[in-house]
Amino acid sequence: MFDVIVSGAGPTGLMLAAELRLHGVHVLVIDRDPEPTKVVKAMGMHARTVEILDQRGIADRFLEAGTQHPTNGFFAGIYTDTPIDLDTSFPFVLGLQQPITDRLLAEHAVELGVEIRRATELVGLSQDEHAVTVDLADGTALRARYLVGCDGGRSTVRKSLGIGFPGEPSRIETLLGEVELTTPREEVIAAVMELHKTHRRFGAVPLGGNRYRVGAPAAGLSDDPRVPPTMDELSRQVRAIAGTDFGMHSPHWLSRFGDATRLADHYRRGRVFLAGDAAHIHPPVGGQGLNLGVQDAFNLGWKLAAAVAGWAPADLLDTYEAERRPWAEDVLNNTRAQTELSLPDPGPQSIRRLLTELMDFPEVKRYLTEKVIAISTRYDFGPGPASLGRRQRDIPLKNGRLYDLMHEGRGLLLDQTGTLSLTGWTDRVDHIIDVSEDLDTPALLLRPDGHIAWLGSTQPALSAALLRWFGSPTT
C-alpha cells in the first residue's frame, strides 16, 4: 500500500509528489496519458512560483531554461511601466513553455524517488477510515492512505467524490496552435502589436525559428471543447482579424479553450483531496493557472507528509482548504475582471480606459501586479502583526541567504537573539541563529511553505506557535 497516490502528472501533481517524497512519503503518480503532453497550455511562471522552486534549491534549472520578461502588461494586457521595488528577488515573469516545466518537475520528482506510471487511468474510487481504493481502467486496483486529484478541470476524482463545481460555463472560445509562419518575424510582430490594440484575444508569440504560438477568437462555441480545431479553422479566424494568416503551415499541435470559471465546493472529502485545475478553473488571462496549482501543491505537501508521519496537529489537513480556497476565489475574481476588460464592447472598453489611467498611480500598479504574481499571498492565521501569515521573501543573512536554508522542506526558526529553544521540535524544525539587516523582528518562525507562523521574542509564544503548526513536542 502506498502512503499517497497522486492522480495527474501535470505541474501540480509533480510538484506535490516531490514535496511528499522530500519527507520520505511513499508516493505514486498515475496519469492516463501514455506520454507527457506537447501542448503548450502555459507559457511561464510568476515570481511566487519561482520563489517556491528557489526554496527547494531547483530554481536555477528553470531560470536557465526560460527567458525573463518584465511584469508590465500582465493585468488585462494593460501596458505600463514595470512596478519598481517589487517585494521579491524575482521581479519578472519567467517565460517557459509548459512541456519544459513538466519535464523539469518530473526530473526533480524522480530524483527524489517518486514513481510515475503513465497510461494508468483512474476510473473510480472508494474510501474507508483507513485508506482509499483507486480503481483503474485495466480492472486492477491500488490502495493508499491518501489520494490527491490533480487530474484537471474534468477531474474524475472530483466527480467520484460528488463534490460540486459551481460557476459559469464558457461564453467565448479561443483557438490556439503551435504553427510555422512564412511571413518575416518583424512583420508578424509589428502586425500583432497593432492588431492587439483592438483585438486583445489575438496574438502570435515567437517560439524560435519560424514557430509561433498563435491564438485567435473562435467563431462560436464548439460542441465539445476537447476536440481540437482544424488548421483551416485557425487560419480562417486569423485571416478574419489580420487579413492574412501569415503563411501559416505545419501545425505541431492545435487546441481550444473557453472562459469557464468554476470553483470546487470543497477541497477535501475524507482521505481524498483536490488540487490545481481539479479544484478551480478560470480564463488564462494573466497566466495564473499553472502557478495557482503549483502553489496549491506547495501548501498541501508538507501537511500531508506530516499526517503520514503522525505528528500533524488534528486540524492541519483542514487548513489546506481554509487557506487555498479563498486565494483561488481571488484569482477567479481577477480573471473574470480581466476577461471583461478584453471584450470589444463600449462598456468594458470604457472601464479599461479608466483602469489604464488608474495604473499610472504606483500603488495601483503594484497592487494589481502583486495580486497576479502572487507575492501578496497572506493566509489568515488569526490576530497578530500584519506580516503574520504572509509568505516570507528571501533575505540575505550574515552567513548566507534564507532560501538556501529551506531546501529540505522543514520548518525554520530564524533567531537573531540566540536565546530561544526548539527542544521537542528539532526533528521537524531547524534552528538558525543568524542576523539580517532586512529582518525587523527578533525572531521568525517559518512553516515549510515559507509562510510566517510567528514572529517575536518570547519562548511561551514561540512554543504555542510550534504546537499549533508542528504538533506536540517529542519527549
Per-residue pLDDT of the chain (475 residues; tens, 9 = 90+): 999 999 999 999 999 999 999 999 999 999 999 999 888 888 889 999 999 999 999 999 999 999 998 887 778 888 788 788 899 999 999 999 999 999 999 999 999 999 999 999 999 999 999 999 999 999 999 999 999 999 999 999 999 999 999 999 998 899 999 999 999 999 999 999 898 878 888 989 888 899 999 999 999 998 888 889 999 999 999 999 999 999 999 999 999 988 899 999 999 999 999 999 999 999 988 889 999 999 999 999 999 999 999 999 999 999 999 999 999 999 999 999 998 888 888 898 899 999 989 998 999 999 999 999 999 999 999 999 999 999 999 999 999 999 999 999 999 999 999 999 999 999 999 999 999 999 999 999 999 999 999 999 999 999 999 999 999 999 8
Give the residues across from 204 on adjacent strands: 214
Name the fold adopted by 173-258: Alpha-Beta Plaits (3.30.70)
Closest CA relative to residue 154, chosen from 309, 307, 254, 281: 281
| Fold match, 2-167+262-373 / 396-470 | no
Measured CA to CA, the distance from residue 353 to residue 288 in angstroms comes to 23
* pTM, to two decimals: 0.94
Is residue 3 within 8 A of residue 27, CB to CB? The reply is: yes
- Going by CATH, does the domain composed of 396-470 fall within 3.40.190.10? no
Q: Where are the domains of the chain?
A: 2-167+262-373, 173-258, 396-470
2-167+262-373 CATH choice from 3.40.50.720, 3.40.640.10, 3.50.50.60, 3.40.50.620? 3.50.50.60
Place of cell 487511468: 121
What torsion, rounded to 10 degrees, do the Cα atoms 46, 48, 52, 54 define? Answer: 70
